[in-house]
């Protein structure tokens, strides 16, 4: 239906404006000696328009009973428009055919451009077309849920920082309100239990070792289960019937989805397990399928890898905002090395993003006054040694008007109480 409306948008605009101007001239013209028109509806939905016009006629009769046909016509026009708008909100749109009567006598139906039933029918059809066209901007519903898919694609001890990147983002979105059941976490290696880790069952992202990233963590896919096939299954919703609930993303058309990935990559590809690669076209195909299946409202696709800005080049699905830690021919760099653990603990891009989220304040309803534009401005000013890439070709909302909690926080209303339960 939406694609049909899009294809006929120019015709709808022309017909609607032409009809509006035509009937505006009629309404402003000399009043007719006839009485206000009376509608007799045929088919479902007639009662809505008839009752609206009846209210207008009743009230005008109390005022004196002398109302020109312009007022009756205007009330009828508004009634038809309201009925059409209501039907377009989700109830089935029913074409209502009206006959105009005046003092018990039918008007001349050959006069298409005058106060005839066919003229008002034409106005009703034009109004429906126009309202169908503008409906997405008028009645766009706010999203009702947030999901996060967080993945480290690298194995081995020397890639410690990639797992720490993913765990850092995981704890940030949990702190901002996204529950574990709405988070898919994929870690290809259990580095917290690696024999070379002197801090058993612990992982850190800073030199002070204050925050144990491996505490209170629910890993949904680990080890060799972290594959391109499993990742695409999560996005597309194509699971084996025995797949447990915690490994599924049950999103819908009112869900905002944060997809964060970190690992080794290059120009339009990202490595999985340091063996196979997923391309920008694979991401594009997955997002297009998600759009066809109505599995998301908006997607924020963030990748921390070398030349990450190229991974969104092939995406054509609507409402997808792609962000990369570096542009084409640029590397993404790690933060400083930790002398105790012997490896780098986090990448510069993810570290800067975590510092931003540490300083934001969340209101009692789960929202924040910090926007995506604030986040990107912060990243631009940070010492990344690369330039972040933001691909907005399929995303048309203003970044300065989008709270970061639209993707990184909870969409559930939170009410703070002073009493425990």
Per the CB < 8 A criterion, the answer to whether 184 and 249 are in contact is yes
Tell me which residues are annotated as active site.
Answer: 264, 306
Alpha-carbon gap, residue 232 to 273, rounded angstroms: 15
Nearest to 319 by CA among 237, 260, 407: 407
At 80, list the tokens: 């038809």
Dihedrals φ, ψ of 393, to 5°? -65, -25
At 28, list the tokens: 């402003």
Question: What's the CA dihedral at 260, 265, 268, 271 to 10 degrees?
Answer: -80
Alpha-carbon gap, residue 401 to 397, rounded angstroms: 8
Residue 73 CB partners (closer than 8 Å, separation 6+): 23, 26, 27, 37, 115, 120
DSSP output for 15-47: HHHHHHHHHHHHHHSPPPSSPPPEEEEESTTHH
At 404, list the tokens: 């970061």
Distance of CA 415 to the CA centre of its chain: 24
In Å, the largest CA–CA distance within the chain is: 96
Q: How long, in residues, is the chain? A: 421
Nearest to 71 by CA among 35, 96, 123, 98: 35
Q: How far apart are the first and last CA of the chain?
A: 48
At 6, list the tokens: 């899009």
Alpha-carbon gap, residue 283 to 278, rounded angstroms: 8
Alpha-carbon gap, residue 69 to 177, rounded angstroms: 58
Residue 228 CB partners (closer than 8 Å, separation 6+): 272, 276, 278, 282
């Amino acid at each position: 239906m939406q694609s049909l409306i899009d294809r006929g948008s120019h015709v709808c605009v022309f017909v609607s404006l032409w009809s509006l101007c035509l009937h505006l001239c009629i309404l402003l013209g000399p009043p007719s000696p006839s009485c206000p028109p009376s509608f007799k509806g045929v088919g479902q939905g007639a009662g809505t328009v008839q009752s609206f016009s009846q209210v207008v006629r009743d009230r005008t009769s109390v005022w004196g009973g002398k109302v020109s046909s312009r007022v009756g016509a205007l009330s009828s026009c508004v009634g038809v428009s309201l009925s059409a708008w209501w039907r377009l909100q989700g109830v089935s749109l029913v074409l209502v055919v009206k006959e105009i009567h005046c003092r018990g006598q039918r008007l001349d139906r050959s006069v298409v451009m005058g106060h005839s039933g066919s003229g008002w029918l034409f106005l009703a059809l034009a109004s429906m077309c126009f309202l169908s066209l503008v409906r997405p901007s008028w009645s766009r519903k706010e999203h009702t849920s947030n999901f996060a898919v967080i993945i480290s694609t690298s194995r081995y001890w020397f890639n410690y920082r990639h797992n720490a990147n993913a765990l850092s983002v995981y704890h940030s979105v949990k702190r901002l309100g996204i529950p574990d059941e709405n988070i898919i976490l994929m870690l290809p290696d259990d580095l917290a239990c690696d024999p070379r880790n002197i801090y058993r069952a612990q992982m850190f992202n800073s030199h002070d070792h204050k925050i144990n990233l491996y505490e209170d963590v629910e890993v949904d896919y680990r080890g060799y289960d972290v594959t391109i096939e499993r990742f695409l299954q999560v996005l597309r919703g194509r699971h084996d019937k025995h797949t447990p609930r915690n490994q599924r993303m049950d999103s819908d058309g009112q869900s905002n989805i944060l997809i964060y990935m970190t690992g080794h990559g290059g120009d339009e590809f990202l490595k999985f397990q340091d063996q196979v690669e997923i391309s920008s076209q694979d991401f594009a195909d997955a997002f297009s399928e998600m759009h066809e299946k109505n599995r998301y409202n908006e997607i924020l696709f963030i990748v921390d890898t070398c030349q990450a800005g190229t991974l969104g080049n092939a995406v054509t699905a609507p409402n997808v905002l792609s962000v990369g830690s570096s542009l084409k021919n640029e590397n993404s760099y790690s933060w400083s090395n930790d002398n105790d653990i012997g490896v780098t603990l986090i990448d510069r891009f993810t570290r800067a993003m975590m510092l931003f989220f540490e300083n934001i304040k969340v209101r009692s309803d789960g929202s924040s006054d910090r926007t995506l534009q604030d986040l990107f401005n912060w990243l631009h000013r940070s010492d990344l040694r690369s330039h972040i890439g933001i691909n907005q070709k399929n995303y048309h909302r203003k970044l300065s008007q989008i709270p970061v909690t639209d993707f990184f926080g909870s969409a559930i209303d939170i009410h703070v109480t002073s009493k425990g339960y």
